[in-house]
Structure 1
Amino acid sequence: MRTHLYLLLLAAGASATPLQSNLAELQTWLQEIYQSVDMLNLRIETPVSSDDESCIKTLFEGTELLKNNPKMKRFSIFFQSFDKLRPSLTANLAREGKCDTERKNVKRFIEKLRTFLRKLSRGAKE
């Protein structure tokens, strides 16, 4: 499974410079979101593993849930930028696999999303 994820990250890194700057910007936005979600009482399906390529879809579904929350409207730029990544991340998925998830609070979901973006950043540099 890790090999598939690395191949996916490598494919996403084909245009590394724009991708790298986008990922850095997304990380900055996620830090702001993370600091402001204390009062948000949501439980989101969160991948157990950050290495499973089948969980990419779960991460996008979780961000959709956040995007549709009225308290998150001020972060619309983050959600627009993250949605732009969707085609490059999901285009190379050979098949839809099972993603083990747990319902976690928003902060835990964002931590997983940040880990995922950090891994993408490393893949884009190589």
Structure 2
Amino acid sequence: MKTHLYLLLLAAGISAAPDMSSTAELLTLLQQMSESMNLRIETPDDMNDVNCISTIFEGTEQLKTNPAMKKFSGFFQKFERLKQSLTPSLGREEKCDTERKSATVFMGRLMTFIRKAALRNARA
């Protein structure tokens, strides 16, 4: 039930944030970023776990502060809109199982998270 409520809130938040073209832009920028990164980031074992959303956001903040990511400021601006739309709907999170993985792995999982969020939005 908690997961279903979260998915509903996620879909509502995304509908108020980026549209499908913005989602495509996010994914394109993320792909370009992953090709130029050598960093280890705390990565949730399950990107679908509602308890791991803040970990996802923390990972993107870690990317944002990396000097190599300066040229991708457009991604971070667009992702910030998604983050702002989801943050109010997040309740108190429980434990999130994570592991430090390469930025490429984190970004791959982040792409999956963004795609699923866009699909949920399209179905809503």
TM-score (norm 1): 0.87
Q: How many residues align?
A: 122
Counterparts of residues 1-126 of structure 1 (less than 5 Å)? 2-15=3-16, 18-37=18-37, 40=38, 42-126=39-123
Q: What amino acid maps onto 1:95 in structure 2?
A: R
1:125 is displaced (CA, Å) by 0.4
Residues 67-126 of structure 1, C-alpha deviations (whole Å, 9 max, x = no match): 111111111111111112112111111222221111001101001100100110101101
Partner amino acid, structure 2, of 1:55 = C
Gaps of 5+ in 2: none
- Give secondary structure in 2 for the equivalent of 1:45: strand
Q: Is the 8 A contact 2:43 2:98 kept in 1?
A: yes
Equivalent residues of 1:13, 1:125 under 8 A apart = no
Identity of aligned residues (%): 50
Query: Compared with structure 1, are the counterparts of its residues 5 and 112 closer, same or farther at alpha carbon in structure 2 (3 Å cutoff)?
Result: farther
**Cα distance in 1, alignment partners of residues 87 and 20 from structure 2:** 18
SS at 1:91 equivalent: helix
**CA-to-aligned-CA distance 1:7-46 (integer Å, 9 cap, x gap):** 2322224347x43222121011111112222xx2x21100
What is the aligned-residue RMSD (CA, Å)?
1.7
SS at match of 2:46: coil
Q: Where does structure 1 differ by over 4 angstroms across 4 or more consecutive aligned residues? A: none
The offset of 1:51, in angstroms, is 1.1
Q: Which amino acid aligns with 2:41?
A: I
Unaligned runs of 5+ in 1: none
